[in-house]
């Protein structure tokens, strides 16, 4: 099959492209604008494959999209291109509306025209055509009790703690704000759930410009299916982590700060709960849904790994304590740890944990019920949080050149295949 992947130079998109080239015989066209989040170096392992082709283009550009569809002749579209970082959506929502909402509508219209033409030219190929839209569990809103506890949560994917705005070169890995007051109640790691887990029928209630723009794009996809009969599928997934993750997100940020001996900034009390999924497990799930899922259906994807942010950061510290020899540890920053937060004995890296003021409007808890995809497609994650996190930390230790080139901006130096 010919598979058109949008956003294939991003964190999850590159894992999908690697999965398709390494583990299937499909042909892949990757269309990506190469924003700050697009990194072709994440595709070095497959870029020479004769089954892979890259096209630099903006999904908002209808003419370019028509050209890409004409050249690729896709059997399946996997739409991952998006602005994905909550902090950036607060600083500048317009790009999020443009790419996530307008860009998705352009792709849907392009796909519809292509599919209609295919019905005349090649009815068999038209009958098998599928448009898979990749989305987030953030569209469902907040499962927690942020108002009641007086403590606010953190956004999707462990977005940048202490990182705001531009930061194209990944330079702004600093600490922002003051330490909030901590209470023993606030330090309870897993408050009892206020609501059941997110299912495919949970009503949408997005909190941030990012999640609102993704919710808008999800609605568009379902409307194109219902109104025009376009054969679509939607997936909504929990927090991803793993190799090639841009270092503005929680897990890589903490690993790289710890390696540099810088403070590890934890928002609020660190008690915000996220469900973590190893990115390669997500990529496998996406390929299964795209190729075998039932048209018109939505599938939730999650790891059944609910962790507080503080637990995640402490687990990273423990792995680094073990893997990084004492003489190779970074110079210590000005870390400050409130006494109430000492939940476990401090180790060399845990000493760097620093609690910083939370930001407003964030969700306390996300947790996903992924039983449908398991039941209907037989997918389940291969990694536990412990094995996946260990692999991730080891990957960042072994692939310094990749993240150093992100941090110094040189990864943006090369551009290929401009349409």
Q: How far is the CB of 16 from ligand NAD (least distance, A)?
A: 9
Q: How far is the CB of 318 from ligand NAD (least distance, A)?
A: 23
- Of these residues, 36, 52, 140, 210, which one is catalytic? 210
Closer residue to ligand NAD in complex, CB, 239/392: 239
The answer to whether 13 touches 81, Cβ cutoff 8 Å, is yes
**Residues contributing to the site for ligand NAD (CB under 6 A):** 6-7, 9-13, 32-35, 37-38, 58-60, 80-84, 99, 103, 134-136, 156-157, 214, 237, 239-240, 246
Give me the residue whose beta carbon is nearest to ligand NAD: 10
Q: Is 140 a catalytic residue?
A: no
- Of these residues, 138, 154, 248, 363, which one is catalytic? 138
Given the structure tokens 């048209």, which residue do they identify?
A: 295
Closer residue to ligand NAD in complex, CB, 240/308: 240
Q: How far is the CB of 104 from ligand NAD (least distance, A)?
A: 9
Q: How far is the CB of 72 from ligand NAD (least distance, A)?
A: 14
Closer residue to ligand NAD in complex, CB, 240/288: 240
Between helices 385-398 and 250-259, what is the axis angle to 10°? Answer: 50
The half-sphere exposure of 202 on its side-chain side, counting CA atoms within 13 A, is 26
Between helices 400-407 and 385-398, what is the axis angle to 10°? Answer: 70
Q: How far is the CB of 61 from ligand NAD (least distance, A)?
A: 8
Closer residue to ligand NAD in complex, CB, 83/358: 83
Q: How far is the CB of 296 from ligand NAD (least distance, A)?
A: 20
State the Cα–Cα distance between residues 17 and 52, nearest whole angstrom: 8
Closer residue to ligand NAD in complex, CB, 107/259: 107
- Of these residues, 58, 83, 87, 137, which one is catalytic? 137
Closer residue to ligand NAD in complex, CB, 7/144: 7
Q: Is 185 a catalytic residue?
A: no
Q: Is 138 a catalytic residue?
A: yes
Active-site positions read 137-138, 210
């Amino acid at each position: 099959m010919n598979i058109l992947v949008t956003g294939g130079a991003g964190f999850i998109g590159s894992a999908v492209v690697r999965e398709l080239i390494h583990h299937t015989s499909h042909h892949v066209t990757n269309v990506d604008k190469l924003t700050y989040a697009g990194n072709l170096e994440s595709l070095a392992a497959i870029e020479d494959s004769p089954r892979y082709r890259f096209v630099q283009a903006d999904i908002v550009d209808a003419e370019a999209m028509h050209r890409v569809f004409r050249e690729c002749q896709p059997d399946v579209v996997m739409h991952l291109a998006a602005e994905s970082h909550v902090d950036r959506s607060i600083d500048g929502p317009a790009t999020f509306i443009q790419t996530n909402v307008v860009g998705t509508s352009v792709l849907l219209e392009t796909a519809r025209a292509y599919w209609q033409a295919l019905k005349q030219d090649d009815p068999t190929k038209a009958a098998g055509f599928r448009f898979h839209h990749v989305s987030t569990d953030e569209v469902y809103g907040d499962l927690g009790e942020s108002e009641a506890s007086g403590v606010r949560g953190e956004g999707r994917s462990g977005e940048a703690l202490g990182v705001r705005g531009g930061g194209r070169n990944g330079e702004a890995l600093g600490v922002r704000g003051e330490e909030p007051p901590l209470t023993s109640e606030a330090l309870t790691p897993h408050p009892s759930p206020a609501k059941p887990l997110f299912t495919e029928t949970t009503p949408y209630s997005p909190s941030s410009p990012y999640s609102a723009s993704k919710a808008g794009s999800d609605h568009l996809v379902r409307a194109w299916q219902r109104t025009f009969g376009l054969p679509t599928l939607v997936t909504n997934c929990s927090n991803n982590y793993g190799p090639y993750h841009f270092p503005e997100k929680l897990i890589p940020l903490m690993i790289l700060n710890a390696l540099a001996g810088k403070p590890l900034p934890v928002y609020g009390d660190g008690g915000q709960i996220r469900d973590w999924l190893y990115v390669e497990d997500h990529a496998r799930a996406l390929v299964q849904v795209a190729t075998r899922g039932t048209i018109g259906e939505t599938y939730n994807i999650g790891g059944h790994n609910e962790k507080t942010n503080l637990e995640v950061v402490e687990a990273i510290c423990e792995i680094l304590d073990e893997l990084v020899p004492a003489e190779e540890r970074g110079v210590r920053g000005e870390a400050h740890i409130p006494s109430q937060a000492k939940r476990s004995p401090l180790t060399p890296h845990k000493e760097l944990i620093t609690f910083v003021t939370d930001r407003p409007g964030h969700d306390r808890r996300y947790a996903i019920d992924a039983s449908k995809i398991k039941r209907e497609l037989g997918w389940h994650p291969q990694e536990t949080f412990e094995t996946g996190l260990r692999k991730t930390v080891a990957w960042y230790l072994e692939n310094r050149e990749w993240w150093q080139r992100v941090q110094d901006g040189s990864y943006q130096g090369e551009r290929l295949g401009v349409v």
